Amino acid sequence: MMLSIWLVEDEAYIADSLIYMLEKNHYQVRWFERGELMLKALSTSQPNLMILDVGLPDIIGFELAKQVLLKYDIPIIFLTARDDEIDRIIGLEIGADDYIVKPFSLREVLARIKTVLRRFHKQSPPIANIALGPFMLNEEGSVIYYYNERLSLTRYEYSLLKTMIKAPNRIFSRKQLLDIVWQDNLSSMERTVDTHIKTIRQKLTMVYSADEQPIQTHHGLGYSLKID
C-alpha cells in the first residue's frame, strides 16, 4: 500500500519538485497551497505524514501544526526559509518530527521522510501493563494513567514518561532522553527535553497535588522519576 504524504506549500515551484520526487519514490502526494484547506480535508481523511511550510500566507505553519496535533497523531516535518535556532526549537517543542531549512536537497528531504516514517511506524510486541507507584503504563494502548486517571499526552510526552517509568529512580541526562525518544533526529535540542518535562509536570499537577512532583531535576545531570 502506498503511503500518503500531504504537502502544504504555497510556492508552486517548490511543491512541483517535491511532488515529482515523492511520486517517483512511490508515495501518494496531496498538495495544498493554504493551511486552512488542509485542515478542512483532515475531517475526512488523514495522511501518513505531513510536510508543512512555516511561512504560509493564511496561517503560520507552527499554529497549523498545533491545530493538527491537538486531534491527530501525524508525524510532521517543517520546511522553512529561516535558519534561526529559536525557530527550530519552537517547531520541535510543538511536537514536529523534523525541521528542514530551504534551500534543501531533495535527497535529504527523502532521507528525512524515510527516517521519520520508520521511527513513527516502528512496532514493538505488546507487553503486560506496568504498575509503578501512582503510575500505570499500558504500552499496547500507548496510555499512561496517574492515580487512575488517564493522562492526555502528546507522542513525545508519552515516550519521555514511559522511558522514566520503565527505569524508576534512574537519572537520565538530556542527551540520553534525546537519543531514546527522538532517536536519530539530529535537529532536536536539549531545551526540547526541558519543555516537554515542564508540560508533563503540569499535566500531573492537574491530576494530583502540586506538592507531589515525581519527576525530579538533578542539576547538571538530568531527570529521574522518583518512586519511593
Model confidence pLDDT, tens digit, residues 140-193: 888 999 998 999 998 889 999 999 999 999 999 998 998 888 865 555 677 889
Model confidence pLDDT, tens digit, residues 63-113: 999 999 888 889 999 998 876 667 777 777 788 888 888 888 999 899 999
Q: What percent of the chain has pLDDT over 70?
A: 92
Predicted pLDDT at 97: 87
Q: Could you write out the DSSP letters of every residue in the chain? A: -PPEEEEE-S-HHHHHHHHHHHHHTT-EEEEESSHHHHHHHHTT---SEEEEESB-SSSBHHHHHHHHHHH----EEEEES---HHHHHHHHHHT-SEEEESS--HHHHHHHHHHHHHHHH--------EEETTEEEETTTTEEEETTEE----HHHHHHHHHHHTSTTPPBPHHHHIIIIITT-TT--HHHHHHHHHHHHHHHHHHS-TT---EEEETTTEEEE---
The residue among 77 and 121 whose pLDDT is bigger is 77
Predicted pLDDT at 181: 87
Predicted pLDDT at 20: 94
Q: Is the predicted pLDDT of residue 210 greater than 90, yes or no? A: no
Predicted pLDDT at 127: 57
pTM: 0.63
Q: Is the predicted pLDDT of residue 128 greater than 60, yes or no? A: yes
